[in-house]
Copies of this chain bind each other. A is one copy, B any other.
Amino acid sequence: MTSALFDPIFGATAIDAATDDRAWLGALCEVETALARACTRAGLIDLGTALEIGAAADDLGASDPAELGRQAEASGNPVIPLVTALRAAVRERVGADAAAAVHLGATSQDILDTAAMLVCSRALGVVVAELRDCADHAAALARAHRDTVMAGRTLLQHALPTTFGALAAVWGTGLDRAVARVTATRAILPVQLGGAAGTLAALHPHGFDVLAALADELDLREPAGVWHTERGIVAELAGVLGAAAVAVAKPATDVVLLAQTELGELREGRPGGSSSMPHKRNPIAAITARAAAAQAPGYVATLLANGAHELQRGAGPWHAEWVALVGLLRCVGGATSRLRTCLTGLEVDLDAMRRNLGPDSVDVGHAGDLVDRYLDRRR
């Protein structure tokens, strides 16, 4: 999922700390801790034990993910060796009784799904912040260039004139929408707790109390039910992130087009060079934003194609989600980060815009009004 060589190019550095192996391991351990606390609140575990579990989980959360990865191969998910290690650590600290309180009533999917939602929540926080920055840049461009006339181009042919402000308002509208949608989905990410077969059997009759407490501990939502195999939230995340990628790819594409040598209307503030042509001024942030965003549709398709999980736990579809979800978060976060770089210090060549427009009419209709409307909506 991570590549020290390629991630910086595609902006994934921005979202790295929220999605890498350490983030996952940390999240898994946080969930075990939160579960112990939730059980305490429901009267199932005494507070001292929960504190010991939390301390042991903290230690484990700071250990080497590679070790856990190796142990996870045999069982097919990292929670099984994690629980083994956590129980051993707690046993060593306070004895066998306390060890039995680890992972109480849970199945590995409960821990992994909840950790995934924690990872998503944090990663989406980064994505939203980056999207918001991009949206603000677009708004600033729209405001500054409300009346900057340029050629309108439909099917890449000159049509009637428009303004650069109106184009930036189009970018901004898409980015604002993405901010709103990602924020809304982020706000509904649920914890998972169902136990071995999704009936909360091992916690009966305290299951719902523990569930509610778990959500409270982790600042996630209490779900409608057990969603071991009702993956609507994952499909929704996929759709929202796929749409965010579109919102990012649109301005990136326009920058690349308007920066073409013959057009020369836009220029990145820190364009890229070339290994063979020192004179090149490549809009490389826009180019790599496009490339990063272009990864999204494939991940979305993978998540949707693996959305129907069999009976009480998917035999493949569930496992297929983990890396696809991370890949999607990273490429959208990365694309957004690259777009932010692109828009920061974007240079607008007013002369080129005027020159390319030629002696055509400069009746831009409602272009200015469209910018005003857009800016009004943002207030």
CB distance from A29 to the nearest CB of B (A): 12
Q: Would you give the shortest CB distance from A98 to chain B, in whole angstroms?
A: 17
6 pairs of A and B residues whose beta carbons are closest in the complex: A239-B239, A201-B365, A152-B197, A246-B307, A290-B316, A154-B313
Q: A53-61, A89-97, A127-135, A278-286: which lies at the B interface? A: A278-286
Of A42-50, A161-169, A213-221, A343-351, the one with at least 4 CB within 8 A of chain B: A161-169
A272-B242 contact in complex given A249-B307, A288-B319, A295-B324, C-beta closer than 8 Å: no
**Contact A284–B74 (Cβ < 8 Å):** yes
CB < 8 Å neighbour of A312 from B111, B153, B327: B153
Q: Is the CB of A311 within 8 A of B21?
A: no
Q: Which B residues touch A107, using CB under 8 A?
A: 154, 274-276
Residue of B nearest to A282 (CB): B155
Taking a contact as CB atoms under 8 Å apart, the answer to whether B366 and A200 are in contact is: yes
Bound-complex Cα distance A235 to B307 (A) = 19
| A162 in contact with B297 given A5-B78, A66-B5, A108-B276 (CB within 8 Å) | no
Q: Which of B2, B295, B366 contacts A204 (CB 8 A)?
A: B366
State which residues 331-379 of A face B: CB under 8 Å: 356, 363-367, 369-370, 373-374, 377
Q: Determine if B202 and A356 form an interchain contact, defined as CB atoms under 8 angstroms apart.
A: no
The CA-CA distance from A171 to B364 in the complex, in Å, is 39
Q: Are B207 and A366 in contact (CB under 8 A)?
A: yes
Q: How far is the CA of A298 from the CA of B323 in the complex (A)?
A: 12
Among B159, B258, B323, the residue within 8 A (CB) of A280 is B159
**Known contacts A256-B316, A275-B107, A277-B160; is-contact A76 B227 (Cβ 8 Å):** no
**How many angstroms between the C-alpha atoms of A275 and B103 in the bound complex?**
9
A-B contacts besides A201-B366, A202-B365, 18 pairs, CB < 8 Å:
A1-B3, A75-B282, A107-B274, A153-B313, A155-B282, A155-B314, A157-B259, A173-B224, A199-B365, A201-B367, A208-B366, A235-B247, A236-B243, A239-B242, A239-B243, A239-B300, A245-B307, A294-B305
Do A272 and B75 form a contact, CB below 8 Å, given A239-B238, A366-B199?
A: yes
Check: A88 CB closer than 8 A to any chain B CB.
no
Q: B159, A76: Cβ atoms under 8 Å? A: no
- Return the CB mask of A180-222 against B: 1 if under 8 Å, else 0: 0100000000000001111111111101100000000000000
- In the docked arrangement, what's the CA distance between A282 and B270, Å? 34
Residues on B with beta carbons closer than 8 Å to the beta carbon of A320: 290-292, 294-295
Give Cα A77 to B195, complex, Å.
41
On chain A, which size bracket covers the interface? 35 or more
Chain B residues with Cβ below 8 Å from A272 are 74-76, 80
CB <8 Å contact, B247 and A232: yes
Q: List 8 A-B contacts (CB under 8 A).
A: A5-B25, A103-B275, A154-B228, A157-B261, A260-B260, A291-B319, A300-B300, A301-B301
* Across-interface contacts of A9 in B (CB, < 8 A): 69, 72-73, 76-78, 319
Contact for A374 among B178, B224, B298, B374, CB less than 8 A: B224
A56 vs chain B, min Cβ distance (A): 16
Q: Could you tell me if A156 and B311 are in contact, using CB atoms closer than 8 angstroms? A: yes
Question: Are A311 and B167 in touch, CB under 8 angstroms?
Answer: yes
State whether A287 and B274 are in contact (beta carbons under 8 Å apart), knowing that A301-B300, A363-B201, A365-B201 are contacts in the complex: no
Which residues of chain B have C-beta atoms less than 8 A from A301's C-beta? 297-298, 300-301, 305
Q: Are B322 and A6 in contact (CB under 8 A)?
A: yes
